[in-house]
Structure 1
Amino acid sequence: MANTRRKAAWEYFGEELKRRREEAGLTQTQLGDRVFVSGGYIGQFEQAFRKPQLDVAIRIDEVLRTGGFFERTWHKLIRERRFASYFEEVAELERTATKICDFAPLVVPGLLQTEAYNRALMTEDDPFATEEQMQDTIDARMERAQILADATRPEFWVILHEHVLRTPVGGPSTMADQLDRIVARIRERTVLVTIIPYAKGAHASMNGMFRLMEFDDAPPVAYTETEFSGTLIDEPAVVKRAQRTYDLLRVAALSPEASLELIASAAEDHRRCVRTT
């Protein structure tokens, strides 16, 4: 899978570093001294335990006289990493899923996000991200969403908490457009969205998003995510518990018709805020 291939690529980076360092007649400590890191740190690069920063890769090229090999390889490996490492395998699996069920208590799921909404989330998450970095992430997410336009698209079920509709990510105009996108997807019948209203109170599963995926030729999996990490789960007993939790969330949600009405109403509320400012 994606994680395995990426690990192998960084192992190759480390093997090349070791080979070229030894050809130059340098120990790890000697190379470390020349590029302003410890010898132990060089050892971690060579064993693919750690990944060097770009400036270190550039200094390694200068010291070992490798003609920019390590800088070019670094750029290639970083650029190809379009998703967080913990999400890479999930992004691959969703392309072959026959059914995807998302629960999102805080933000709109990635497959339904508009570009402006996604950009607003990233700006809040990392205000120092460059425009190029942000655009790469946005492009990757928009490409993922293309699975909903395919003839073989999966059944896509989404449960949102009302909180997602009311929080003005990117401002009221961005939110109105985002909710309009969801309404359009519902009416196109590419997704079935239901809402857990504030009136239902808290739910035990509302501390983070989670996803269920089913496949024609493989067992189902579950995926849970928090702010800084995600976990893909294929243990049958745990997946079964996650499926039961999703069923309970579905019971707590409004009907599809009532949910559509609430989403459209929330979009109009945000538009009203735009008109009054």
Structure 2
Amino acid sequence: MANGSRMAAWEFFGSELKRHRENAGITQVELGARVFVSGGYIGQFEQAIRKPQLDVAQRIDEVLQTDGFFERTWRQLINDKRYADYFGPVVELERLATKICEYAPTVVPGLLQTAAYAEAVTIAANPFVTNAYVEEKVMARLERADILKDATRPEYWAILHENVLRIPVGGPEAMAEQLEHIAHLMRERTVWLTVIPYAVGAHASMIGDLRLMEFEDAPPVAYTETSFSGTLLDDPAVVKRAQRAYDLLRGTALSPEASLALIESAAEDFRRCASTT
């Protein structure tokens, strides 16, 4: 579904929510209290500014007695087949975030990937798929990165392990291009990025990818991912633990200046290798 049609569909969700709420004779504040969000949230749902979580849509159905209408509509709209089922809600939250912090131990985060790097990662994980499938996945990943181009872009922080700079994904040319892209974003102050070097050894969070997201008027969330699944976490105690882990990681990383120098050195190494092959 194209972006425009998806947006129109969420506007339909919002207009139906308003219609059913008004028919029930309750205010936004009253509905919000009964589904455990603020009245302001309900207003944002109705204006398609914010998209509700599944459990909120389910509670709206219960309060308004709409026989599962909002849950079914939510599932249809959130089900973007370009993304894994567990990742679709994360993409929606990215677009609303005011701050995104990522830790990547092995692979460049999706928001920073170039087309060649994204293609290589996609094919490595799915060696028997069609070219059309690969193209769709790559375009979806590049489309996500558009949030870093907006005037209202979120603060974007990333911590990369040195593994990310050394694993030759897509070959020397693709890696040189990828690292040069990251260096450019750093120099343009689009992202704040640091690197944990090999010399650190054991560090605070030797786990899979970790992402923290903050919002203007909603509690922060954490997202963890492994090879075959991802988990969106909103329990305040768990999110606090994830934030502490991220702080510890940041404490072991190089300075931004030293990180940039390391990235540019790695890019030069890959560029020299590409020129001799």
When the two structures are superposed, what TM-score results if normalisation uses the length of structure 2? 0.72
Matching of residues 195-274 of structure 1 within 5 Å: 195-274=195-274
Q: CA RMSD in A?
A: 2.2
Q: Shift in Å at residue 276 of structure 1?
A: 2.5
1: CA distance between counterparts of 2:94 and 2:270?
A: 32
Which structure 2 residue ranges, 5 or more long, are not aligned?
1-50, 59-71
Q: Deviations over 1:168-189 (max 9, x none)?
A: 0010110000000000111111
Report the residue type matching 1:268 in the other structure.
E
2: CA distance between counterparts of 1:183 and 1:267?
A: 9
1: CA distance between counterparts of 2:52 and 2:106?
A: 27
> Hey, what does 1:88 align to over in structure 2?
88
- What is the aligned-residue identity percentage? 64
> Hey, what does 1:172 align to over in structure 2?
172
> Hey, what does 1:152 align to over in structure 2?
152
2:275 is paired with a residue whose SS is helix
> Hey, what does 1:127 align to over in structure 2?
127
Check conservation: 1:111, 1:141, Cα contact below 8 A: yes
Check conservation: 1:196, 1:252, Cα contact below 8 A: yes
2: CA distance between counterparts of 1:3 and 1:78?
A: 10
> Hey, what does 1:161 align to over in structure 2?
161
2: CA distance between counterparts of 1:201 and 1:81?
A: 39
1: CA distance between counterparts of 2:237 and 2:245?
A: 13
Count of equivalent residues:
210
CA distance 1:3–1:136, change in 2 (3 Å): farther
Report the residue type matching 2:175 in the other structure.
M
Q: Shift in Å at residue 2 of structure 1?
A: 8.4
Report the residue type matching 1:191 in the other structure.
V
2: CA distance between counterparts of 1:117 and 1:204?
A: 28
Matching of residues 66-145 of structure 1 within 5 Å: 80-145=80-145
2: CA distance between counterparts of 1:169 and 1:272?
A: 16
1:159 is paired with a residue whose SS is strand
Report the residue type matching 2:253 in the other structure.
A
Which structure 1 residue ranges, 5 or more long, are not aligned?
9-47, 49-75
Please say which of residues 121-130 and 153-162 is displaced more in the overlay: 121-130
Task: Say whether 1:275 aligns with 2:254.
Answer: no
2: CA distance between counterparts of 1:146 and 1:78?
A: 19
> Hey, what does 1:182 align to over in structure 2?
182
1: CA distance between counterparts of 2:239 and 2:151?
A: 28
Check conservation: 2:79, 2:85, Cα contact below 8 A: no
CA distance 1:79–1:230, change in 2 (3 Å): closer
Q: Deviations over 1:78-131 (max 9, x none)?
A: 994121110111100010100000000000000000000000011111111111
1:223 is paired with a residue whose SS is strand
Check conservation: 1:3, 1:85, Cα contact below 8 A: no
CA distance 1:2–1:140, change in 2 (3 Å): farther
CA distance 1:252–1:78, change in 2 (3 Å): closer
Q: Shift in Å at residue 202 of structure 1?
A: 2.5
CA distance 1:238–1:79, change in 2 (3 Å): closer
2: CA distance between counterparts of 1:111 and 1:246?
A: 18
Q: Which structure would you say has the larger Rg?
A: 1
Q: Shift in Å at residue 208 of structure 1?
A: 0.5
CA distance 1:82–1:127, change in 2 (3 Å): same
